[in-house]
């Protein structure tokens, strides 16, 4: 299993758009074989930081999902939410492997 941790810097004035963007990606990750662990939005402290965590059974499964970026109409539509609203200022992806007890 591989887990993608996405750290976002967001526009605090565009939280509603970011939530719409996040809900759409939760659906797409799930539809394409991943497990989405949710988006984590500002509550206290810095108001421009957000996280998303999702897992795929393997790096190969994640890479298959990534082939749809910029090609699949649903993926393009989801990115359009981000691009048109300006809700995401920048992001960084890190891949981790979970450790359970």
pLDDT digits (tens, 9 = 90+) for 32-89: 999 999 999 988 777 999 999 999 999 999 999 999 998 999 999 999 999 999 999 9
Residue at 100 is within a domain: no
- Residue 89 makes CB contacts below 8 A (sequence gap 6+) with 8, 9, 10, 11, 48
Q: Is residue 89 part of a domain?
A: yes
Q: What domain range includes position 70?
A: 2-95
pLDDT of 31 higher than 80: yes
Q: Is residue 38 a contact partner of residue 79, using CB atoms and an 8 Å limit?
A: no
Classify residue 81: in a domain, yes or no. yes
Domain assignment present for residue 19? The answer is yes
Domain count of the fold of the chain: 1
d(CA 53, CA 38) in angstroms, rounded, equals 6
Q: Is residue 101 part of a domain?
A: no
In a domain, 27, yes or no: yes
CATH code at 60?
Answer: 3.30.70.100
User: Would you state the pLDDT for residue 72?
Assistant: 93
pTM beyond 0.75, yes or no: yes
Q: What is the pLDDT of residues 84-100, one digit of tens each?
A: 999 999 999 999 988 88
């Amino acid at each position: 299993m591989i887990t993608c941790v996405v750290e976002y810097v967001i526009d605090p004035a565009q939280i509603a758009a970011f939530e719409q963007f996040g809900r759409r990606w939760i659906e797409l990750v799930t539809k394409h074989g991943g497990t989405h662990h949710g988006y984590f939005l500002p509550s206290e402290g810095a108001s421009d930081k957000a996280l998303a965590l999702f897992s795929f059974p393997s790096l190969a499964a994640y890479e298959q999902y990534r082939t749809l970026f910029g090609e699949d109409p649903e993926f393009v539509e989801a990115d359009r939410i981000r691009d048109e609203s300006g809700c995401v200022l920048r992001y960084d992806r890190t891949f981790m492997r979970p450790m359970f007890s």
